[in-house]
Structure 1
Amino acid sequence: MSDTSELNPCLACGACCKSYRVSFYWAEAEQRGLPAFLTEQVNPFLSCMAGTNTKRPHCAALLRSSDGGFACRVYEQRPAPCREVQIGDDKCLQARARHGLPALPVDGLSREM
């Protein structure tokens, strides 16, 4: 695991990307520079990250990294719902538990993802 993913486990985990629908106001995708093929229209006002609007979500931006972890290919452009999940918060812990991952100790970790 790289030094970056040790400081920010979100760069290697991927549990929330495989747990939740990531929906946001449609214009946010363009504002953030998200590629159109990574978003889906939900209704006239909302879009979501491709692959997350299913019973078993798996964001299309989530890639398997060479070290066996996961990486978001648009981490810097990720929409607001992705930015709202914080290391060790309820959504993070629920997603990690859903995928059999242990809770993260938040001491010493950056809470800004």
Structure 2
Amino acid sequence: MSPCQQCGACCASYRVDFSVHELDEQGGRVPSGLAVEVNDTLCRMRGTDHARPRCAALTGTIGQKVACGIYEWRPNPCHELEAGSDACGRARARHGLLALPLPH
């Protein structure tokens, strides 16, 4: 099991903005029902703009066992975050989890 499947901290720490062209109704793959409009060119994953962010596609318990309900269709910012990166470490710290080893 990947460390991300036990963690989920990034999915409950950051706002996730992405191009409207990634939405399924625009020819992309991200389910439109899980996004909110920001402006004409950007949208945001539902739940990630709350005071205590948590992506609407995330299931499970942070730090124990989690899953992304749209893993195959998640937006580009989700593809870009690497396990063990600085952003990963900051997200894990927010949830009281130890940092992962740096990626190779």
Q: Given the two structures, how large is their TM-score scaled by the length of structure 2? A: 0.86
1:83 counterpart letter in structure 2: H
User: In the alignment, which residue of structure 1 is the partner of 2:44?
Assistant: 48
Percent identity between the two aligned chains:
49
User: In the alignment, which residue of structure 2 is the partner of 1:72?
Assistant: 68
Cα RMSD (Å) of the superposition?
A: 1.7
1:45 positional shift: 1.0
1:56 positional shift: 1.4
Decide whether the 8 Å contact of 2:85 with 2:102 is kept in 1: no
Decide whether the 8 Å contact of 1:17 with 1:58 is kept in 2: yes
User: In the alignment, which residue of structure 2 is the partner of 1:92?
Assistant: 88
Distance 1:12 1:38 in 2: 22
- Bigger drift between 93-102 and 47-56 goes to 47-56
Distance 1:25 1:35 in 2: 13
1:15 counterpart letter in structure 2: A
Distance 1:42 1:56 in 2: 18
Q: How many residues align?
A: 100
1:69 positional shift: 1.2
1:74 counterpart letter in structure 2: I
Distance 1:58 1:19 in 2: 7
Distance 1:57 1:97 in 2: 15
User: In the alignment, which residue of structure 2 is the partner of 1:105?
Assistant: 101
Query: Gapped runs of 5+ residues in structure 1?
Result: none
1:94 counterpart letter in structure 2: R
Decide whether the 8 Å contact of 1:49 with 1:60 is kept in 2: yes
Distance 1:75 1:84 in 2: 13
Distance 2:84 2:40 in 1: 33
Query: Gapped runs of 5+ residues in structure 2?
Result: none
